[in-house]
Structure 1
Amino acid sequence: MSQHVIKPGWFTINVVNRAVAWMTRRGLSVWGSRVLAVRGRKSGEWRRTPVNVLTLEGAQYLVAPRGHVQWTYNMRAAGGGELHLGKRAQTFTAVEVGDDDKPEILRAYLKRWKAEVGVFFKGTGPDATDEELRAIAPKHPVFRITLT
């Protein structure tokens, strides 16, 4: 069975992601945005992409709304990375969250960013039941991050 992934289109890659990354690199966070830097699992080179950092009950999480994309594979291999906002970089370690533990995290993520990422969750929103969120959990990797 293939892993769920929704690849970004040209507009997202060349306009939206670049604009968010540009602002974030200059220290302007857009709703919690950061630039994630993680080493490539094959090349070892730093790979960067804009992400939203979710803080929930004192813990921080990275959620992959588009599914099993390249940064999620790299994160599994590297076990951490860096979050950039302006000139400040914070290193972190990451542990993947199990599917049964994702409903509360996905609900909070959707509550905060549904307007931005809701389309990737195929109609599942913050008011979904735990069972509905558990059903989509395997499609959306979640990492608990700890700043070092």
Structure 2
Amino acid sequence: MTARRYLKPPWMQRKVGNVLAPLFRPAIVARLSVPGRRSGEWRTTPVVVLDHGGERYLVSVFGTTDWALDLRASGRGRLARQQRVEEFGAEEVPVGQRQPILDAYLARFAKMPHVEAAFRSLPDPADHPTFRLASARD
């Protein structure tokens, strides 16, 4: 087993940005909820969903985060954006298939706070858990 690669986001992002982003950027920022891998309690964090090649993806920008570990364990979650809540299934993208997805993510979201710096600090695709989303009905 390899060491967990994780960048703790700056305090300002965790305590202020994560609270305000869904309010000020509701068309881009969604609230992801996943059941905790140990407790089973639902945990929520802001994310952006990448639309790429007719599929939707979640990319863990800061490395192997708790939400990525929880989603890996459960394979399911909820996305809330504005007044809509969607349940989904998730499949982790193999490391060898991540680079085009990560490139598309950077092309679209590099200007968001700390995204480009996180990818510079963690350049290996293996450091960014990436999940393909499917509706709960699929």
Structure 1: gaps spanning 5 or more residues = 125-134
Identity of aligned residues (%): 35
In structure 2, give the amino acid aligned to 1:69: T
Distance 1:62 1:17 in 2: 16
Offset at residue 33 of structure 1 (A): 1.5
Normalising by the residue count of structure 2, what TM-score does the alignment of the two structures yield? 0.90
Deviations 1:32-57 (A, max 9, x none): 22100101111111100000100111
Deviations 1:52-99 (A, max 9, x none): 100111100000010000000100111010000122100000000011
Structure 1 counterpart of 2:130 = 142
Q: Secondary structure at the match of 2:124?
A: helix
> How many residues of Structure 1 are paired with residues of Structure 2 in the alignment?
133
Q: Which runs of 4+ in 1 moved over 6 A?
A: none
Distance 1:14 1:74 in 2: 21
Structure 1 counterpart of 2:75 = 79
Q: Secondary structure at the match of 2:50?
A: strand
Offset at residue 20 of structure 1 (A): 1.1
In the alignment, is residue 45 of structure 1 matched against residue 45 of structure 2?
no
Offset at residue 108 of structure 1 (A): 0.3
Offset at residue 23 of structure 1 (A): 4.2
